[in-house]
Amino acid sequence: MSDLDEVKIRYAAQISDVSDLRALDDIRVAALGKKGEVSRMMSGLGKMTIEEKKVMGPALNGLKDAIGVMVETRKAQLEAEALDARLKSEFMDMSLPVSAPQGRLHPVQQVMEEMAVIFADMGFAVKEGPDIEDDFHNFTALNFPPGHPARDMHDTFFFPEDKSGERKVLRTHTSPVQIRTMMSEKPPIRIIAPGRTYRCDSDQTHTPMFHQVEGLVIDKNTHMGHLKGCLMDFINAFFETEVQVRFRPHHFPFTEPSAEMDVRYERDGAAIKIGQGENWMEILGCGMVHPNVLTACGLDPNEYQGFAFGMGVDRLAMLKYGMPDLRDMFAADPRWLSHYGFDPLVQANLASGLS
């Protein structure tokens, strides 16, 4: 046993004195490798008596474990020392100007970041979901009855039937994210759901793939006044000016009552100025979450209520930054992006201005 103690002390000294990882690994191999000293000692157990094995077996295993622990501990120390040395020698002066040419941030990404900043200031979290959805999350749970126009082939991208006979769909809105959140989280809920959506439509103000941001608030005391205040604060912050708005009654299957929000605007040549003039423009849809939707998500409509809203990111980008054609956003023209793009190093924030 004294020989084992001497071996342990000898390797402890070697491991303590080692100064690099390669030398440490050489010590590990010399002690614990297949032909290492401890391995050779363990191979001799076969020649011992049963009584000797009962003593030496646990002792050798203990020696092997002890050396292994010392090696791992020293390895962690050496790695930490190497990292500290690199951090001291390798640095970047972030105050230096960027000399290399930089790419431009797409207006859609810029607007999404602006919207996320505004709603985060109101206490909203960001949630995402899959682009390919099933019928329940995209239609049924949102109170779309059978035969609703949104289920028609000419409005929606459907996949072929799978083995179970179900037809998946490219989501027509980000509302399925609201359904998934209500089914997986307990109220109070306060989220926005940005992402890509898909519909069979293409013209100057419509594209087959576009971007939406939808919002959802579920609580016990939420009412229409909260909805109006939230959206009015958002519009003023987004356009960075005082904007007059109005709410008109509307119909959506998933909200009741439902409304569309309009903003005042005027045309100045080809430009549209939001917040002034005598004309009204529809900007988003909203309403109180329908009791059928709450029930489909397992929430008691007698206990909980809330509001939801949705808006097109691409159209908001067009209105704010004066882009005349929605289709140009997806044309991959570097000249267009150079003109309308944003500096990627300038982050949207409410303190110094969104844009």
The model's pLDDT over 138-152, given as tens digits with 9 standing for 90+, comes to 998 998 887 777 666
86 φψ region: left (φ > 0), alpha (ψ -120 to 50), beta (else): alpha
At 135, list the tokens. 């019928």
> Running DSSP on this structure, what letter comes out for residue 289?
E
pLDDT for residue 94: 73
Tokens found for residue 241 = 């000016």
Q: How far apart are CA 38 and CA 261, in angstroms?
A: 79
- Alpha carbon distance 230, 192 (integer Å): 12
Predicted TM-score (pTM) of this structure: 0.67
Given a contact cutoff of 8 angstroms between Cβ atoms, the answer to whether 80 and 25 are in contact is no
3-state secondary structure of 302: coil
Across the range 154-160, mean pLDDT stands at 80
Measured distance CA(90)–CA(80) in Å, rounded: 15
Q: How confident is the model at residue 174 (pLDDT cuts 50, 70, 90)?
A: very high
- Tokens in use for 102? 């930089």
Would you state the pLDDT for residue 153?
55
User: What local confidence, expressed as pLDDT, does residue 40 receive?
Assistant: 84
Whether the bond into 130 is cis, omega within 30 of 0: no
pLDDT 10s digits, 188-234: 999 999 999 998 776 666 678 889 999 999 999 999 999 999 999 99
Looking at residue 203, its pLDDT comes to 65
What confidence score (pLDDT) does residue 282 get?
A: 92
* Planar angle of CA 142, 143, 146, nearest 5 degrees: 120
What pLDDT does residue 123 have? Answer: 94
Residue 55, pLDDT above cutoff 90: no
Q: Is 277 left (phi over 0), alpha (psi -120 to 50) or beta?
A: left
> What are the residues whose beta carbons fall under 8 Å from the beta carbon of 255, sequence distance 6 or more?
286, 287, 288, 289, 290, 307, 308
Amino acid identity of 220?
A: K
pLDDT of residue 141: 92
Q: Stretch 286-301: mean pLDDT, rounded?
A: 95
Q: Which residue has the higher pLDDT, 4 or 70?
A: 70
pLDDT of residue 200: 79
Q: Which amino acid, 87?
A: L
Share of the chain above pLDDT 90, in %: 40
Tokens 């930054």 -> residue: 321
| Gyration radius of the chain over CA positions | 32
- Residue 251: predicted pLDDT: 92
- What is the three-class DSSP state of 353? strand
Beta strands in the chain (DSSP E): 125-126, 132-133, 169-170, 189-198, 209-219, 245-252, 255-268, 271-274, 279-289, 305-312
Per-residue model confidence (pLDDT) at position 2: 61
DSSP 198-267: E-S--BTTB-SEEEEEEEEEEESS--HHHHHHHHHHHHHHHHTS---EEEEEEEETTEEEEEEEEEEEEE
| CA distances for 110 relative to 115, 213, 345, angstroms | 9, 13, 11
pLDDT at 285 over 70: yes
Placement of tokens 């000249």 in the chain: 335
Average pLDDT over residues 56-68: 84
Q: What is the predicted pLDDT for the residue at 161?
A: 85
DSSP 154: T
Give the pLDDT confidence score for residue 286 in this predicted structure. 96
Distance CA 86, CA 315 (A): 48
Q: Nearest CA to 325 among 238, 208, 207?
A: 207
